[in-house]
Amino acid sequence: MIGELVMYHTFAVPAFMLAAGIALAFFGNRLVPFALVICALILGFLHGGSFLLLFTVNPDVLRFGPVILAVLLAVLVSFLYRMAFFLAGLFIGFFASSALFPDLSVVFAGGLALIAGALVYVARNFVFSVLTALMGAGLTATGAVNLLAWVNVSAGVAVYWLIVMIIFIAGAIYQLNRKKGRK
């Protein structure tokens, strides 16, 4: 799927994938909004034409529609990302205080809401670190293998998976061992 993007430009796209992949693998928990936007753009570019084909066969719509859908999807994902954490903390805190202790005072309910928010924050950092390391490793390997192909060096599937494993493990370890998490 992602390898199909190389058809847009055989050097620029793999070089971008390599750079973005390394950044996500090692700094992904700080770059989650950027990672979500990149994923949304890629999905919009790759699947926008197929989606639009369900509604029209107009060549102009099929040519420019995926770009417009990719940008709209990126904006939507960015908005939903910020709203999701606000709503998650709000609902978890409210549910914990009202369902578990219906007669609890507002002060204690607020304390439970803060604890729930802290748990969401802690789990978010771990999950984002692992997932962005994996996503970054895949982008790095795809970019590296395609850049090798651009200079006429053949790299097989084993090289691809070796790059994925090395970058994923190194990126996850680096992100999980950093002193400060995502702010």
CA triple 172-149-4, angle to 5 deg = 70
86 versus 37: the higher-pLDDT residue is: 37
Question: What is the C-alpha to C-alpha distance for residues 69 and 75, in angstroms, rounded to an integer?
Answer: 10
Question: What is the C-alpha to C-alpha distance for residues 164 and 132, in angstroms, rounded to an integer?
Answer: 12
CA nearest neighbour of 66 among 50, 49, 53, 80: 49
Structure tokens at 34: 């950027």
**Which amino acid is located at 163 in the chain?**
I
Determine the pLDDT at residue 182: 47
Question: What is the C-alpha to C-alpha distance for residues 35 and 21, in angstroms, rounded to an integer?
Answer: 10
Residue 79 buriedness (CB in 10 A; 0-12 / 13-18 / 19+): exposed
pLDDT band at 101 (very low <50, low <70, confident <90, very high): low
* Domain spans in the chain, listed from the N-terminal domain onward: 10-177
pLDDT band at 89 (very low <50, low <70, confident <90, very high): low
Under 8 Å CB-to-CB from 50, ≥6 apart: which residues? none
Q: pTM value?
A: 0.60
CA nearest neighbour of 131 among 89, 161, 175: 175
Question: What is the C-alpha to C-alpha distance for residues 82 and 43, in angstroms, rounded to an integer?
Answer: 20
Structure tokens at 49: 């034409």
User: 44, 69 in Cβ contact below 8 A?
Assistant: yes
Determine the pLDDT at residue 183: 46
Per residue in 119-157, pLDDT (tens digit) is 666 677 777 788 788 888 888 998 899 899 889 888 889
Determine the pLDDT at residue 130: 82
Structure tokens at 46: 């790759």
Question: What is the C-alpha to C-alpha distance for residues 51 and 69, in angstroms, rounded to an integer?
Answer: 10
pLDDT band at 173 (very low <50, low <70, confident <90, very high): very high
For helices 59-95 and 32-53, angle between their N-to-C axes, nearest 10 degrees: 130
